[in-house]
Amino acid sequence: MIFPTTQKEMVALGWQQCDIIIVSGDAFVDHPSFGPAIIARVLESEGYKVGILDQPDWNDPASAMRLGAPRLCFAVTAGNIDSMVSHYTVNHKKRSEDNYTPGGKAGRRPNRATVVYTNLVRAAFKGVPVILGGVEASLRRMAHYDYWTNKVRRSILVDSKADLLIYGMGEIPIKSVIERMDHGEAIRDIQNVPGTVCRVSEIETDAIELPAFELVEKDKKAFNTMTRLQYENRHFPYGKDLYQKHGDQILKINAPAKPMSTKEIDAIYALPYTRKPHPKYTESIPAFEQIKDSITAHRGCFGNCSFCAITFHQGPRVQSRSKKSVLDEVKIMASDPDFKGTITDIGGPTANMYGIRCAIGGCKEMNCLYPEICEHLIVADQEKYTQLLKEAAATPGIKHVYIASGLRHDLALEDEKAMEKMVTTYTGGHLKIAPEHLIDNVTRAMNKPPGNIYFKFLEKFRQFSKRAGKEQYIVPYFISGHPGCTDEDMLEMQKQLRQSGHKLQQAADFYPTPMTIATAMYHTGVHPLTGEKIFVPKTTKEKLRQFGMMMWHRNTRNKKQETRNIYL
C-alpha cells in the first residue's frame, strides 16, 4: 500500500479519516533508511491508518488541512536530519540545496521545523494531540546549547507546546503510546513510557533532577552537570528517569527504551516497504539516490565520539539484524527491475561493527573503544560481517557488494583476516575511514584512537591491496577546529599529512550540534565528563585558519585538480 498524502488518495483507499498523520520536513520515501517510513510501516502493521503530510507549506494554514484531522494524533518530525544543519553551514551560510527534497531544492522546510509544524497543525486542528520525534526533537529533549543563536534554549517540548516527545529509535515507544491512546487514555496521562519526554506535576522522591533551564541558561558549570548526568543515563538498563524544571513546568525524561532484540529489529526491516519515493514526485530526491542500493545491517555505535550524537540517539550498543534478515532484503533488491546489480553498502553507523557484542552484556560506562578496546568486546565477530558480505554477493542477481559506510580502523586491526577480506574483496577502489585527527591531544578530546593507529591501518591497507594486485586508496575524513585543538596541533597534523602525501577532500570544520559532549566543551570551555579546562577555537578567524592549515594544498592546485579527490 502507498501511504496517502492528500484527501484524494485517502478516498482511493476507502478511508474517511487517518488514525495518525505523520508530518515531515522531508519528501516521503518509503524506504527503511528514512525514519518516517519506518514509523509509518510499524503503525500500519499494528492496524492503524497512517497518512503523510510531507513538507507542508508553513506559510499556508490550508496546507496542514489536506488530510483533515487524525483520529488519534499528529506525529511531527523535522525529517531525517536537523533542520538547522540542513539549512546552514558551520559558518552560518545558507545552503543552496536540500537533499531530502525533490530536485534537491532548498526552501521547502522552515528553520526549527519541529516547532513550526507543531504550531501549524495546532492552529488548524485545536485540541488534537501532537507527538514529536526524529533527530531534531530527540537531541533537543532537554535544555540544550544552540549554535545558531549562541544561546541555551529550552527543551523543544516546551518551545513547541507539543504533548509528548519520543527520543531515540522510536518504534517501540510509539507503539506503546498509540496503543494506550487508542484504548482511550489521555495523552497527558501517558507519563511512564521509556524513551519519551512528558510533563508531570511533581518530581518523585530520590529522582535524578537535572539543573533547571533557568540555571543552565546562565551557569556553564550547571550546564556541564546536566550534560554529564544525561550522558551517565543514556542507555538501557543503566539509564534512570531524569527531571528538569522549565519555569513552572516539570519535564520527565523517561529512561531510555530497551534496545530491540534481533527478532524485533528483523521484523522492522521485513515490513512491506516499496523502497521508492511517493509516486507523486516528478523529480529525483538526492538522498534517496544516494542510499537506494544500500542496506542497513545494524544500529548504534560503540565509539562514543565526542562530536557525534549517535550515542544519545541510536545508543552506544550495537543492535544487529540476523543474516537471514539482511539476505532477504538483498533478494528483494535483486528482484527489482530497476536494480543494476551493485549493492553500494551493507553497513550502519560503522560497517565493521555488525555482529560485534559485549561478552558481559554491557556496563554503565559503555565506553568500549577508548582509551583502548575493552577486553569484553568480542571484536573477532567481524568475521560475521565478511561472511554476510560473501553470501550477499553470491545471491542471484547481485554483481558487486561494497562497503560505503566506512570502517572503524582500530577494530579492523583486531581481526586482520576479516580486514583483508574487506579491503581486497569489498572495497570498490576507495575505502572510507574517519580518523578525524592525528594529534593525541585532539584525539583524546574526540574520544578517538591516536594517530599512530591510523598509520598502522594505512600500512596494512597498502599491504593487503598490493598483495591482491589492486590499486586502491583510503579516503580519510578529518575535522579541524574541534575543542582541544590548537594552532600548534593543526600545524603538527599538517606536517604529518605532508610527510605521508595526504591532500584531503574528506574534511570539515567542527560543527557544534545539540547535546553532544564536544558541543558542551565548545559552549563551556570545560570537558563535562572530566572537569578539565579545554582550549576552544571559536572565532571565525580561528576556525578558518585551522581549516586552512588542514587544507593547505587547495591554493596550490589547478582548477582540474581542485575538482578531484586526492587520496592516499
Final residue before a domain boundary, out of 230, 253, 276? 253
pLDDT tens for 6-42 read 999 999 999 999 999 999 999 999 999 999 999 999 9
Q: 507 in a domain, yes or no?
A: yes
Indicate if 342 and 367 belong to the same structural domain.
yes
Query: pTM for the full model?
Result: 0.95
CATH of the domain at 120: 3.40.50.280
Spatial contact of 305 and 223, defined as CB atoms under 8 Å apart = no
pLDDT of residue 380: 81
Mean pLDDT value across residues 263-288? 98
What is the C-alpha radius of gyration for the chain, rounded to an integer number of angstroms? 23
Q: 567 in a domain, yes or no?
A: no
Indicate if 242 and 187 belong to the same structural domain.
yes
Indicate if 297 and 189 belong to the same structural domain.
no
pLDDT of residue 502: 76
Indicate if 214 and 288 belong to the same structural domain.
no
pLDDT of residue 555: 61
Q: 568 in a domain, yes or no?
A: no
Q: 352 in a domain, yes or no?
A: yes
CA 261/CA 319 separation, integer angstroms: 7
Q: 482 in a domain, yes or no?
A: yes
Spatial contact of 140 and 155, defined as CB atoms under 8 Å apart = yes
pLDDT of residue 565: 33
Contacts of 338 (CB under 8 A, 6+ apart): none
pLDDT of residue 559: 38
459 burial level (CB within 10 Å; 0-12, 13-18, 19+)? exposed
Indicate if 246 and 305 belong to the same structural domain.
no
Indicate if 286 and 151 belong to the same structural domain.
no
Half-sphere exposure of 461 (CA within 13 A, CB side): 25
pLDDT tens for 402-435 read 999 989 999 999 999 999 999 999 999 999 999 9
Spatial contact of 388 and 320, defined as CB atoms under 8 Å apart = no
The answer on pLDDT for 557 being more than 70 is no
Spatial contact of 568 and 502, defined as CB atoms under 8 Å apart = yes
Spatial contact of 352 and 433, defined as CB atoms under 8 Å apart = no
Final residue before a domain boundary, out of 219, 253, 287? 253
Spatial contact of 150 and 92, defined as CB atoms under 8 Å apart = no
pLDDT tens for 200-233 read 999 999 999 999 999 999 999 999 999 999 999 9
- Segment holding 329, helix H or strand E: helix 323-334
Q: Which domain holds residue 480?
A: 262-562
pLDDT tens for 148-180 read 999 999 999 999 999 999 999 999 999 999 999
pLDDT band at 554 (very low <50, low <70, confident <90, very high): confident
Spatial contact of 213 and 244, defined as CB atoms under 8 Å apart = yes
pLDDT band at 501 (very low <50, low <70, confident <90, very high): confident
Indicate if 452 and 310 belong to the same structural domain.
yes
Domain count, the chain: 2
Indicate if 202 and 311 belong to the same structural domain.
no
CATH of the domain at 476: 3.80.30.20
Spatial contact of 352 and 418, defined as CB atoms under 8 Å apart = yes
Indicate if 62 and 104 belong to the same structural domain.
yes
Final residue before a domain boundary, out of 253, 280, 312? 253
Half-sphere exposure of 225 (CA within 13 A, CB side): 15
Indicate if 430 and 543 belong to the same structural domain.
yes
CA 23/CA 5 separation, integer angstroms: 10
The answer on pLDDT for 47 being more than 60 is yes
Percent of the chain past pLDDT 70, that is, above it, reads 98
CA 28/CA 142 separation, integer angstroms: 28
